[in-house]
Amino acid sequence: KKKKPLFDVKDLCHLDFYDFTDFTSHIGNNFTTNTEGEKIHFNDIKILKLTKNQTDRFDYKVSYFDEAFKTIVLKIPSRAKRSSSEKNNYLPILKPVYTKPCGIAKKKKDELMKLFEKKIIPNAYMSFYENL
């Protein structure tokens, strides 16, 4: 009998990590008060529903037995005038956090290279460790 693998491992490189700073400032900061004025703890949410054409809000349920979803609007309107860029419902372009591989400390790399001399790590992996 063939067993299913326990984990689906995906290798990531430095280009797979993005900076969400601009994104979080764009979407707003209200994550705790719903449209009915109730305070919500994010840990209590059981079902979260995101809609593609409504990027300024999300729907949720705190119980699997609730009939209707409740809504949290992420940006609370203020009296200040909105700029034209805020009126457009755009999402900022995510930039990579790292432009080059992070690398490791020289001392750690030297210790790893000693493991090749002691034949603890096979030489087949040496090029990978040399490029860290």
Answer whether residue 101 shows pLDDT above 80.
yes
Q: Cα–chain-centroid distance for residue 70?
A: 24
In this predicted model, which residue has the larger pLDDT, 3 or 120? 120
Give me Rg for the CA atoms of the chain. 24
**Is 11 buried (19+), middle (13-18) or exposed (0-12) by CB count in 10 A?**
exposed
Global pTM value:
0.46
Answer whether residue 19 shows pLDDT above 90.
no
Domain boundaries, the chain: 13-77+90-100, 102-132
pLDDT above 70 coverage of the chain, percent: 87
